[in-house]
């Protein structure tokens, strides 16, 4: 039987629901020796900012039980270089590219988005990072406040007709409320979750293991938080949700889809195995064949919840 | 520098033994990685745990290449290296490599190789390559005591061991021996890989006397392929410009792990 793995977000159709997450796959071409990126549902780029950024001082990462904490600090080449160096490469990359944008004010985000709009490049949409825990200014300001989230989304919506995705933080009291605010502002879809606050300390030196003391926790240890967040968001709003957090296998993808995700992003696992998302895509086809699922959309939100 | 291709390969463990107290040597087959002709200084990123309890690979410098076989020498100091030390012959080992750059020019110099603890692999391999090529050089290896050494102290053969407790070779750190050799030889050039205090001491010394020196830098890595941006080291030419990328911080995985001592600062 032929399985239809395609999914839609806004007006964009993706060949399959498995993307790679922002900050875990560079600009999309670093792993060309190891993986055929054209097989991916989409590539979400590193966060792009108005100006280039060096990022935070080392140490920036540490392994934790079934996870890791990072504090990279949005190191990136800046929007001008991104347009010059990367946008031409995306013409022939063979899959959709979603540019992740970060900023510290509405004007910052608008600046990046407007430049990308006028570049006319092959970018199918934008994922807005309102939830990076690792920068000093504007720390989580947008993602924890429904009003700011709504205003930012509205401003960006008026500047583009392309797919507009807001990436939400789990470090809030009610993620459903923030999700609703983003949808009111005009978001086409929502990504959840970004990293959780995390900290680890070396008992021998009494020093935190990363330079900013607290960083962003990711990896399999946060998967249940991601799944619960997707479940809550999909109950709160009617736009598609992209599930992120600790995906390492096809089973994890199925969990996210059942919880209400229309697509997923593989993150931390890319650091261990740059080809893991493409293997999961193959496994997803096999899973559907073995379970008589003709179209992947049939799984979305089909969790049989307790009353 | 020749740009080499990264290969993901499952090797087979052929030997894994404790060669000195807490120091292991593991040899495994890795035909495709060997075909890329790695050179001393380059490293592998090894997945130590099939489960996801330890999600990150461990970067390990290559200690030898023989036909289709690779070796690493590693010191057990954490959970990852503990797991690695329990690998048995015949086990499959999940490798990524060869990664990073390698040691550079020795022509017109007397190479002095300095290693210790976690940083023995590239030094031991470079020693072997220089021997094979008939390049006269010195090697200085430091440890806490005789138990941690697997070479023999043999100054006539240009092999110098040092121990913190004086149980073999010179008593003390590697530095007095290194300084003495630098006074004696023509055009010394230092190549060093070891624990942070050793690297800092070498770095201070060469900067003071303006000796050429290549350091193999150790860093915590997320991916070793440039994706995660986690393994940075500060450049000495730090201009502290307000808006820049890759000018203040260098990626140890793809720019390094070998740096000219003058290029970097240890914080």
CATH number of residue A295's parent domain: 3.20.20.70
Task: Please say if A288 is a catalytic residue.
Answer: no
Residues A21 and A27 sit within 8 Å (Cβ to Cβ): no
Give the largest Cα separation in chain B, rounded. Answer: 54
List chain B residues with CB under 8 Å of A33.
5-7
Domain B110-263 maps to which CATH number in 3.10.20.740, 3.40.50.80, 3.20.20.70, 3.30.479.10?
3.40.50.80
CATH 3.40.47.10 is held by the domain B7-99:
no
Whether the predicted pLDDT of A59 surpasses 60: yes
B170-222: pLDDT as tens digits: 999 999 999 999 999 999 999 999 999 999 999 999 999 999 999 999 999 99
List chain B residues with CB under 8 Å of A51.
242-243
In a domain? residue A249: yes
A78-111: pLDDT as tens digits: 999 999 999 999 999 999 999 999 998 999 999 9
A150-184: pLDDT as tens digits: 999 999 999 999 999 999 999 999 999 999 999 99
Query: Span B69-95, mean pLDDT?
Result: 96
- Inter-chain touch A30–B225, beta carbons under 8 Å: yes
- Inter-chain touch A58–B6, beta carbons under 8 Å: no
The C-alpha atoms of residue B27 and residue B43 are separated, in whole angstroms, by: 14
A78 touches chain B (CB under 8 A): yes
Q: Which two tokens stand for residue A75?
A: 């190191």
B140-181: pLDDT as tens digits: 999 999 999 999 999 999 999 999 999 999 999 999 999 999
The C-alpha atoms of residue A196 and residue B26 are separated, in whole angstroms, by: 37
Whether the predicted pLDDT of A141 surpasses 70: no
Q: Quick one: pLDDT at residue B1?
A: 46
Inter-chain Cβ pairs, chain A and chain B, closer than 8 A: 112
Which chain B residue has its CA at the smallest distance from A275's CA? B8
In a domain? residue A206: no
B265 touches chain A (CB under 8 A): no
In a domain? residue A135: yes
Whether the predicted pLDDT of A134 surpasses 70: no
Q: Quick one: pLDDT at residue A197?
A: 94
Domain residue extents for chain B = 7-99, 110-263
Q: Quick one: pLDDT at residue B148?
A: 93
List chain B residues with CB under 8 Å of A58.
219, 231-234, 249, 267
Q: Quick one: pLDDT at residue B237?
A: 80
Domain count, chain A: 1
In this predicted complex, what is the ipTM? 0.94
Q: What are phi and psi of A146, to 5 degrees?
A: -60, -40
In a domain? residue A173: yes
Beta strands in B48-173 (DSSP E): 58-61, 64-66, 69-75, 92-99, 110-116, 138-143, 159-163, 170-171
Which chain A residue has its CA at the smallest distance from B229's CA? A72
Q: Quick one: pLDDT at residue A122?
A: 82
Interface test with B, best of A56, A60, A247 (most B CBs within 10 A): A60
Residue position matching structure tokens 């860093």: B219
Which one, of B71, B98, B118, B94, lies nearest residue B220 by Cα? B118
In a domain? residue A208: no
Query: Span A196-210, mean pLDDT?
Result: 96
In a domain? residue A60: no
B77 touches chain A (CB under 8 A): no
- Inter-chain touch A54–B248, beta carbons under 8 Å: yes
The C-alpha atoms of residue B222 and residue A24 are separated, in whole angstroms, by: 10
Query: Active site residue: A124, A132, A288, A297, which one?
Result: A132
Residue position matching structure tokens 């060949």: A15
In a domain? residue A72: no
The C-alpha atoms of residue A75 and residue A132 are separated, in whole angstroms, by: 12
Q: pLDDT band for position B12 (50/70/90)? A: very high
| Domain carrying residue A165 | 7-55+77-200+219-299
A26 touches chain B (CB under 8 A): yes
Distances (CA, A) of A152 to A79, A149, A182: 19, 5, 8
Q: For residue A86, give how far its alpha carbon lies from the nearest alpha carbon of chain B (Å).
A: 15
Which chain A residue has its CA at the smallest distance from B50's CA? A272
How far from the centroid of its chain's Cα atoms is residue B256's Cα? 11
- Give the single-character DSSP code of A86: I
Q: Quick one: pLDDT at residue B260?
A: 97
Q: Quick one: pLDDT at residue A143?
A: 78
């Amino acid at each position: 039987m032929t399985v239809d793995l395609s999914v839609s977000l806004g007006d964009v159709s993706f060949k399959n629901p498995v993307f790679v997450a922002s900050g875990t796959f560079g600009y999309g071409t670093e792993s060309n020796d190891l993986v055929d990126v054209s097989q991916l549902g989409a590539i979400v780029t590193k966060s792009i900012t108005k100006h280039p950024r060096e990022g935070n001082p080392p140490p920036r990462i540490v392994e934790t039980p079934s996870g890791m904490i990072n504090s990279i600090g949005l190191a990136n080449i800046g929007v001008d270089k991104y347009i010059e160096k990367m946008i031409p490469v995306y013409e022939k990359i063979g899959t959709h590219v979603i540019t992740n944008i970060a900023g510290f004010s509405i004007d910052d985000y608008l600046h990046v988005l407007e430049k990308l709009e006028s570049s006319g490049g092959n970018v199918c949409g934008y994922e807005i990072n309102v939830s990076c825990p690792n920068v000093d200014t504007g720390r989580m300001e947008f993602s924890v406040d429904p009003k700011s989230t709504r205003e930012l989304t509205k401003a960006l919506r008026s500047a583009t007709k392309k797919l507009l995705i807001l990436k939400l933080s789990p470090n809030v009291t009610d993620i459903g409320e923030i999700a609703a605010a983003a949808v009111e502002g005009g978001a086409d879809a929502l990504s959840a979750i970004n990293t959780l606050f995390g900290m680890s300390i070396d008992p021998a030196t009494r020093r935190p293991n990363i330079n900013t003391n607290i960083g962003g926790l990711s990896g399999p240890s946060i998967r249940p938080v991601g799944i619960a967040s997707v479940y809550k968001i999909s109950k709160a709003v009617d736009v598609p949700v992209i599930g992120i957090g600790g995906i390492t296998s096809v089973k994890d993808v199925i969990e996210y889809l059942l919880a209400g995700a229309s697509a997923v992003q593989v993150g931390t696992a890319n650091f261990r195995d740059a080809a893991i998302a493409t293997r999961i895509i193959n496994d997803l086809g096999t899973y559907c064949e073995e379970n008589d699922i003709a179209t992947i959309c049939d799984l979305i939100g089909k969790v049989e919840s307790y009353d | 520098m020749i740009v080499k291709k990264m290969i993901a390969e499952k090797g087979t463990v052929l030997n894994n033994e404790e060669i000195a107290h807490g120091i292991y040597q593991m040899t495994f087959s890795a035909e495709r990685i060997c075909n890329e002709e790695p050179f001393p200084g380059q490293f592998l990123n090894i997945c130590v745990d099939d489960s996801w309890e330890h999600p990150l690979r461990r970067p390990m410098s290559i200690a030898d290449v023989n036909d289709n076989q690779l070796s690493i020498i590693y010191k057990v100091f954490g959970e990852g290296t503990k797991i690695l030390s329990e690998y048995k012959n015949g086990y499959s080992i999940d490798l990524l490599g060869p990664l990073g750059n390698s040691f550079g020019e020795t022509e017109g110099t007397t190479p002095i190789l300095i290693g210790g603890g976690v940083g023995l692999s590239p030094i031991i391999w470079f020693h072997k390559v220089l021997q094979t090529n008939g390049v006269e050089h010195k090697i200085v290896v430091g440890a806490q005591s005789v138990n941690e050494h697997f070479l023999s102290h043999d100054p006539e053969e240009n092999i110098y061991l040092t121990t913190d407790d004086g149980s073999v070779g010179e008593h003390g750190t590697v530095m007095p021996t290194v300084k003495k050799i630098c006074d004696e030889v023509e055009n010394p050039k230092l190549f060093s890989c070891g624990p942070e205090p050793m690297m800092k001491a070498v770095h201070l010394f060469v900067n003071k006397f303006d000796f050429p020196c290549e350091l193999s830098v150790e860093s915590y890595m997320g991916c070793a392929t440039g994706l995660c941006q986690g393994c940075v080291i500060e450049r000495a030419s730090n201009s502290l410009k307000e808006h820049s990328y890759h000018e203040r911080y260098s990626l140890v995985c793809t720019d390094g792990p070998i740096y000219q001592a003058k290029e970097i600062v240890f914080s």
